[in-house]
A and B are shown apart, each in its own frame.
Chain A
Amino acid sequence: MKLYLKIWRQKDAKSKGAMVDYTLDGVEEDMSFLEMLDILNEDLIAKGEEPVEFDHDCREGICGTCSLMINGRPHGPDSLITACQLHMRSFNDGDEIVIEPWRAKAFPVIKDLITDRSAFDRIQQAGGYISVNTSGRPVDANAIPIEKEHADDSFNAATCIGCGACVAACKNASAMLFTSAKVSQFALLPQGQVEAAERVQNMVRQMDLEGFGNCTNTGACEVECPKGISLENIARMNREYLSATLKG
């Protein structure tokens, strides 16, 4: 199939970028979206032009590196997948595809479609860990009884791959879904409860410092999250933060 691509090109963090049009022929529906971009880049390199820079690593939906806004939706039109898992069969011959980087003040563009998402790392470093010894001495972590419901919810929260699609989708560029997943993953387990109050306060403080927006509860993040992280996590974080703050 033949595609009309509109791609954001930006030389570096300081330059002003712009949309550039490319026409790409011979795309097959079995190709992944990133393979389609690989082919475009081979063409560009053959012509002596700069290839389009985009982030990717595992190409199987587990690393969270790929980050493309495709036709106005993070990771494209399909649900519960990352951009690398998107295939060209989701598009038709003659389609126009608009490809942009995540847009958030806290995720500045480094080049073309690549953004700096280290704001997430700093939120994680602010409290997304436990300091208790889980090495198996004196109690094996697996030997601590944990309610099935809590174990499941914690595990589901832990499947967040830190891709940033939630921020990209949100009209406010809010990082609540990511931060709440990281808070919940620990808050639900006994090992995480020791530092629960400081954790939620420190992570929210860092989230605010990074310049993410506030949450309007639109639910866009939940719809676009490739891992199906639930809004219940945001409510849990709101609860945890309220009780931590009231307790002082």
Chain B
Amino acid sequence: MSLIKSSLARKYVMALSGLFLVIFLILHVTINLASVFSPEFFNEASHFMGYNPLVQFLMQPILIAGVIVHFVMGFVLEIQNRKARDVGYVKYNGAANAPWASRNMIYSGLVVLAFLALHFYDFWVHEMTYKYIEANPQDPTRYYAETVEKFAPVWRTVLYAVSFVLLGLHLWHGFASSFQSMGVNNKYTAGFKKFAKIFAVVVPLAFAFIAVYHHLNPITH
């Protein structure tokens, strides 16, 4: 019980759920990249993820729970942190001692959350409708064309790309921060921080590239 009430325990929850989402991102970006380089592999992988019972009924609920735990705890921390300074400063120079990304995790997180709502609507709701409501038969070749078509409108492509920039900022601070939260700070930390920043640029950039690529390369019949 003491684990739930303590500020440190809340940070462990934040860090572990955040790291879990980072691992998920690696898997996600890998499959997405296939949609650019090998539509066949993309179709196979998507079909596997969409119909494998282990993925659908174990991994997907764990992922959804992970997201919920992470952002709910993010709100809890934010509310407590605001309460901890009940009277604010007239002049507060936050930029003098801490990077922007670290001071605005709640805002980058909120953009990612709003993005997730759209993303769920775009793909998850669509899948659920296709599979369970309309009860369509399995079609292992549909995913590539469906994905490319999603990025036909400019607005969706732009919203996705902008969200990925904010995801990058979230990870710019968050990835390395989660190790500090778990108490890992040693001789490898300086090197790991560099890696985490490269990761925070490369992975969101890859996601954004994929969206823009499909927008610019529609399927012509």
Q: Do A and B come from one complex?
A: yes
Identify 20 residue pairs between A and B in the complex whose beta-carbon atoms are under 8 Å apart, listed by A's number: A6-B90, A69-B91, A77-B96, A98-B91, A100-B91, A104-B84, A104-B85, A169-B97, A205-B2, A213-B81, A214-B11, A214-B81, A215-B11, A217-B180, A218-B98, A220-B98, A223-B98, A235-B185, A238-B8, A242-B8
A90 within 8 A of B: no
Interface size on A (CB < 8 Å)?
49
Q: Which of A207-248 touch B at CB < 8 Å?
A: 207-208, 211-220, 223-224, 231-232, 234-242, 245
Residues facing A in B55-111 (CB within 8 A) are 77, 80-81, 83-94, 96-99, 102-103, 105
Contacts of B81 in A (CB 8 A): 171-174, 213-214, 216
Question: Are B6 and A208 within 8 A (Cβ)?
Answer: yes
Question: Which residues in chain A, 59-118, are within 8 Å of chain B measured between CB atoms?
Answer: 69, 71-73, 77, 98, 100, 103-106, 109
Residues in B lying within 8 Å of A, measured CB to CB: 2-3, 5-12, 77, 80-81, 83-94, 96-99, 102-103, 105, 173, 177, 180-185
Which A172-225 residues have C-beta < 8 A from chain B? 172-174, 201, 204-205, 207-208, 211-220, 223-224
Given contact pairs A216-B105, A245-B2, A204 touches B8 in the complex (Cβ within 8 A): yes
Asked, given contacts A100-B90, A204-B6, A214-B77, whether A219 binds B96 with beta carbons under 8 Å apart, the answer is no
- Counted as pairs of residues, one from A and one from B, with CB atoms less than 8 Å apart, the total is 143
A8 close to B (CB within 8 Å): yes
State whether A207 and B7 are in contact (beta carbons under 8 Å apart), knowing that A171-B81, A201-B2, A213-B84 are contacts in the complex: yes
A19 interface hit (Cβ, 8 Å): yes
Q: In the complex, what residues of B have CB within 8 A of residue A232's CB?
A: 185
Given the known inter-chain contacts A211-B84, A238-B8, please indicate yes or no for A218 contacting B99, CB distance below 8 A: yes
Contacts of A218 in B (CB 8 A): 97-99, 102-103, 173
Which residue of the partner chain, among B8, B9, B94, contacts A171 with CB atoms under 8 Å? B94
Asked if A100 contacts B89 (CB within 8 A), the reply is yes
Residues of A within 8 A of B11 (CB): 214-215, 238
Most A-side CB within 10 Å, residue of B10, B11, B80, B91: B91
Evaluate whether A208 and B88 lie within 8 angstroms (CB atoms) in the complex, with A171-B98, A217-B181, A223-B97 already known: no
Residues A213 and B80 in contact in the complex (CB < 8 Å), given A172-B85, A231-B185, A238-B182: yes
Cross-interface CB contact of B90 among A8, A172, A211, A219, cutoff 8 Å: A8
Complex CA–CA separation, A104 to B83 (angstroms): 9
Interface centre among B5, B77, B180 (most CB of A within 10 A): B180
How far is it, in angstroms, between the C-alpha of A45 and the C-alpha of B8 when the chains are bound? 48
* Residue among B5, B10, B96, B173 with max Cβ neighbours from chain A (10 Å): B96
Beyond A231-B180, A242-B12, whether A219 also contacts B102 by CB under 8 A is: yes
Chain B proximity of A148: nearest CB distance (Å):
16
- With a cutoff of 8 Å between Cβ atoms, the chain A residues found around residue B94 in the complex are 72, 171, 220
Q: What is the bound-complex CA distance between A103 and B90, given in angstroms? A: 10
Query: Across the interface, do A105 and B84 meet the contact criterion of CB distance under 8 Å?
Result: yes
Asked if A72 contacts B7 (CB within 8 A), the reply is no
A34 vs B205: C-alpha distance when bound (angstroms): 51
Residues A72 and B96 in contact in the complex (CB < 8 Å), given A172-B84, A214-B10, A218-B102 = yes
Is A215 a contact of B7 with CB atoms below 8 Å?
yes
B9 & A216 in contact (Cβ 8 Å cutoff): no
